[in-house]
Amino acid sequence: MAVIRIGTRGSALALWQTRYIAARLGVLAHGLHVEVVEIVSTGDRITDVPLSDVEGTGFFTATLERALLDGRVDVAVHSFKDLPVEQTPTLSVAAVPARGPVEDVLCARDGLTLDTLPAGARIGTCSARRTAQVKARRPDLEIHPLRGNVPTRVQRVTSGELDAIVLARAGLVRLCLDTYVTEVFPIELMLPAPAQGALAVQCRSGDADLVHLLAALDDAPTRRAVVAERTLLHVLGGGCSVPVGAVAVCDRSQVVLTAGVFTLDGTRALRVEERGADASALGEAAAHRLLALGAGEILDSFNRIARLDPPLVPGVTP
């Protein structure tokens, strides 16, 4: 195993994440040569379709997984929140490194915050979850679709096209663009996406030596937290584009999970908190509590709205 090929998307953030893992591997295994292989995903090719129309399950990750399966690369580095909750057979997430910041942030003109944006301000986001939580606090704001890589999104504010955008804090920090942040949203105001800020380092399950090597990058508290969050999402039957938020924090032997489901117009929000030692059981318990409160009705309604006359996208199954 003198050479490891790591597949990555070509965006600035994906490349940062991959180079970070490559550097960690270089420290772990002396003499190991790590080759970075850029692969264009369906999500990178198609930039004019709202994420809510394509569910998000594999939109950015399926091409990398195919490259793993056919042997073109040995490892893939994903933003964990982009991976489908259904694991691809014969592939394993061998490592979940220590998590970055989990919060969402506002990048606004003139140092404005969500509360100080003027009425009718134009705010960009590609996320139903973020839209719902922004609308709950500021129903007067105009929500505009937001696609493209992180620097391109920030430029839409600096150019004056938009008054503000909502992004994940982790991506901005990793790219040294957090100087554009004008407000960090506490999770009490805006629950992040399940697995936000976490990376998934994936390889073929049968590559035992590689699985063993990658395991040294694993951070146990981060993995436990992400398992709780993604189990909740799996039980609710959602992908990364549904209006579901969740964040788990390890507190010694316990995991504390806060989760929510929101209507797109911001008029209804269901939130629960669960605590337990078993991360999977915790995610299931939180999901069932949300379903008992009416989460299924909210998600069914959202799916009907999002799927109304879905666009025909090459390479993406509606």
In this structure, are 72 and 205 located in the same domain?
Answer: yes
CATH of the domain at 253: 3.30.160.40
Per-residue pLDDT tens over the stretch 196-241: 999 999 999 999 999 999 999 999 999 999 999 999 999 998 766 7
Query: Do 227 and 204 lie in a common domain?
Result: no
Catalytic residues: 82
pLDDT for 149-186, tens place per residue? Answer: 999 999 999 999 999 999 999 999 999 999 999 999 99
Q: Give the model's pLDDT for residue 44.
A: 52
pLDDT of the residue at 301 = 84
Nearest one of 263, 249, 255 to 285, comparing CA atoms: 255
Q: Which helix (H) or strand (E) element contains residue 127?
A: none
40 lies in the same domain as 179? no
Q: Does residue 191 lie in a domain region?
A: no
pLDDT at 309 over 50: no
* CA distances to 235, 283, 297 from 133, in Å: 22, 21, 18
pLDDT for residue 111 is more than 70: yes
* Range of the structural domain that residue 302 is part of: 220-311
79: enclosing H helix or E strand: strand 75-79
Q: Are 164 and 157 in contact (CB under 8 A)?
A: yes
Higher local confidence (pLDDT), 84 or 260: 260
* Confidence category of residue 302, pLDDT binned at 50, 70, 90: confident
Q: What percent of the chain has pLDDT over 70?
A: 88
Task: Say what the pLDDT of residue 308 is.
Answer: 37
Confidence of residue 147 (pLDDT cuts 50, 70, 90): confident
86 lies in the same domain as 18: yes
Count of domains forming the chain: 3
Whose CA is closest to 235, among 170, 318, 295? 295
Contact 82, 233 (CB under 8 A): no
